[in-house]
Amino acid sequence: MADTPFTFRLVTPQRLLLEAPIVSLEAPGSEGYLGILAHHAPLITPLRPGRLDVRDTAGIESSYAVSGGFLEVSENRATVLADTAERVDEIDRARAEASLKRAETRLADASRGDSPSRGVDRARAQRSQERAKNRIAIAKG
pTM for this predicted structure: 0.84
Check whether residue 83 and residue 103 sit in a common domain: no
In terms of residue numbers, what domain contains 50?
6-88
- Contact, 21 vs 8, CB < 8 A? yes
Sign, CA torsion 52/55/56/58: positive
Check whether residue 21 and residue 81 sit in a common domain: yes
Q: What is the mean pLDDT of residues 65-90?
A: 95
Tens digits of residue pLDDT in 2-16 = 689 999 999 999 999
Check whether residue 65 and residue 118 sit in a common domain: no
Tens digits of residue pLDDT in 93-135 = 999 999 999 999 988 887 776 545 466 688 888 989 999 999 9
Is pLDDT at 35 greater than 90 in this prediction?
Answer: yes
Check whether residue 36 and residue 104 sit in a common domain: no
What is the DSSP-derived secondary structure letter of residue 47? E
Task: Judge whether 1 lies within some domain.
Answer: no
Q: What's 28's domain CATH number?
A: 2.60.15.10
Using CA atoms, how far residue 104 sits from 52, 56, 68, 80, in Å, is: 25, 37, 20, 29
- Contact, 107 vs 130, CB < 8 A? no
When divided into structural domains, the chain yields a total of 2
